[in-house]
Amino acid sequence: MAEKKQILVVDDEESMREMLALMLAHEGYEVTVALGGEMAIKALKTKRFTIMLSDVRMPSMDGLTLLKKIKEEHINIPVIMMSAFVDHDTAIEALKLGAIDYISKPFKKDEVVLKIRLAEERVKLAEKTAILEAENKQLKGPMSPPEIARARFIGANEKVQKLLNMVIKIAPYKSTVLIQGESGTGKEIVARLLHDLSPRAGAPFIAINCGAIPENLLESELFGHIKGAFTDAHRDKKGLIEEADGGTLFLDEVAELPLSLQVKLLRFLQEEEIRRIGDNKDIKLDVRVVAASAVNIAEAVHEGRFREDLFYRLNVLQVAIPPLRERREDIPLLAAHFVALSNRRHEKNISGFTPEAMELMVNYSWPGNVRELENSVERAVVLSDTPLIEADILPEKYDPKEEESAPLLSSDPEVFSIKEATARLERELIIKALKKTDGNRTKAAKLLDLSHRALLYKLHDYNIK
């Protein structure tokens, strides 16, 4: 079982502490609570936390003083500040002192969970980028764009080299880019490369997963709102598009945008201006848009789920990332890189894999792509008691002997329910299609004569990993 992520909640209000503890425990986190800044400092010195949520206004030591104290003590912890008394100056001061985000009370469950998820992804990517760049700087000094690209996106495969050459070539321009690639292939890494190799590198890079935010919050998150625009709009709020002014906006899983928001996004791309919810004036912006999707957007257009005119606006320049199963020669390189990262993170000294273990990894289909490989390597590093990771440390699914074909219908003579038998048949056909396509959900959906979205729902309903 994976170790639960630790969250520290700091608030002098008992009801807020209890509410956050219950909410976050339900999301799979282990929560420690502190009544104020002094108790939080003690907790931070005795335990390692993934993220800290802290109120701003507290007696004795307030949230800003707590941030200063953390900085003085050289405690490395991502902090999200919370306050019912929001003002722009306090928010700016908190961010200057090291907070990575700010959320106003009262907040909805979806909002705080989303903030935590985004913070986790941001910290994880920043950690990997910092390690790579520090290592390369130590070895070579300042890096050229090709060196930066090849340090960030690891691979010797011919398709990967063509991809990186394309990224280097188009990075300096403002033209919209559409990144196509399966889930876990590294779309955000490519988007960040496009930003960091461009003249906008010193400006904001704002990433948003269009499929992770509830539809009722998405418009406000993207376009912002003014005070009083709706019931919970207690103050003016900039949207993420506006936050990206001068920089780059990365729209991940853009195919998940509702049609109503696709219209607003199209208008922004055409006019380069937005209008906050409830406002009557437009705001002119300078933003480069990079979009990404794990599904084939041309197919989504054909199915009526995505506007054709928006597709053409996004698809000015296209970058395709190959799945890991099409670049198997890169698996040893990536595995070695992730072993080094995991050694640092968990203070271990694993030197690599045995030949038998590496053979299993190279021959596995990796439906979750590089993300699945990274998680698998971290798990192996944590579990290994030997300098080289043995084959028996790896999950059984990596062994091809496990892949036995199952009968399409249960032979249980007691099952007479058509509904149950149909569900079993459907589940087994989905598994068969995924095996046939090496885990490619888009191709599997075609074989099954389903839409991609319908397949995703069924994968969830039948608990198919």
Average pLDDT over residues 199-211: 90
Structure tokens, 345: 């993170």
* CA nearest to 80, candidates 38, 34, 118: 118
Rounded mean pLDDT, 31-55:
90
Mean pLDDT of 345-355: 88
Q: Which of 91-100, 171-180, 326-335 has the lowest mean pLDDT?
A: 91-100
Using alpha carbons, list the distances in angstroms from residue 370 to 52, 326, 332, 375: 28, 12, 12, 9
The answer to whether residues 415 and 407 touch, using CB atoms and an 8 Å cutoff, is no
User: pLDDT band at residue 401, thresholds of 50, 70 and 90?
Assistant: low
How confident is the model at residue 426, as a pLDDT? 83
Report residue 465's pLDDT band, with 50, 70 and 90 as the boundaries.
low
Classify residue 323 by burial, with Cβ atoms within 10 Å: 0-12, 13-18, 19+.
buried
Q: Which fold has domain 418-461?
A: Arc Repressor Mutant, subunit A (1.10.10)
Asked whether 183 and 369 are in contact (CB, 8 A), the reply is yes
Q: Is the pLDDT of residue 319 over 90?
A: yes
Predicted pLDDT at 39: 92
Q: Which residues pair with 289 in a beta bridge?
A: 249
Cα separation, 61 vs 39, in Å, equals 10
Q: pLDDT band at 414, cuts 50/70/90?
A: low
Topology, domain 144-322: Rossmann fold (3.40.50)
Q: Higher model confidence: residue 461 or residue 136?
A: 461
410 has pLDDT over 60: no
Residue from 9, 100, 112 nearest 54 by CA: 9
Per-residue burial over 269-305, b if 16 or more Cβ lie within 10 Å, else e, is: beeeebbbbeeeeebebebbbbbbbbbbbebbbeeeb
Ramachandran category for residue 83: left, alpha or beta (phi over 0 → left; psi -120 to 50 → alpha): beta
CA distance 94 to 90: 6
Q: pLDDT exceeding 90 applies to what percent of the chain?
A: 38
What is d(CA 149, CA 164) in angstroms, rounded to the nearest whole number?
6
pLDDT digits (tens, 9 = 90+) for 255-314: 999 999 999 999 999 999 999 999 999 999 999 999 999 888 988 898 899 999 999 999
Task: Give me the pLDDT at residue 93, please.
Answer: 77
Looking at residue 256, the DSSP 8-state letter turns out to be G
Which amino acid would we find at residue 197? L
Q: Provide the residue type at 275 as one letter.
A: R
CA distance 192 to 448: 35
Please tell me the distance from the alpha carbon of residue 14 to that of residue 35, in angstroms, as a whole number: 8
Which pLDDT band, with edges at 50, 70 and 90, does 412 fall under? low
Q: Over 70: is that where the pLDDT of 210 sits?
A: yes
Task: Tell me the mean pLDDT in the region 112-131.
Answer: 72
Class at the top of the CATH hierarchy for domain 325-402: mainly alpha
In this prediction, residue 96 carries a pLDDT of 75
Residues 361 and 373: their CA atoms lie apart, in Å, by: 9
pLDDT in tens, 124-153: 666 666 665 555 555 445 678 888 888 889
Fold of the domain built from segment(s) 6-109: Rossmann fold (3.40.50)
Q: Give residue 460's pLDDT.
A: 73
> Is residue 252 a contact partner of residue 209, using CB atoms and an 8 Å limit?
yes
Q: How confident is the model over 374-397, as a mean pLDDT?
A: 89
Maximal CA-CA distance, the chain: 71
pLDDT at residue 97 in the model: 81
Q: What is the mean pLDDT of the chain?
A: 85
Domains in the chain: boundaries: 6-109, 144-322, 325-402, 418-461
d(CA 450, CA 439): 15
Most confident of 76-80, 93-97, 259-263: 259-263
Q: Is the peptide bond before 106 cis (omega within 30 degrees of 0)?
A: yes
Question: Which tens digit of pLDDT belongs to each residue from 172-200?
Answer: 999 999 999 998 999 999 999 999 999 99
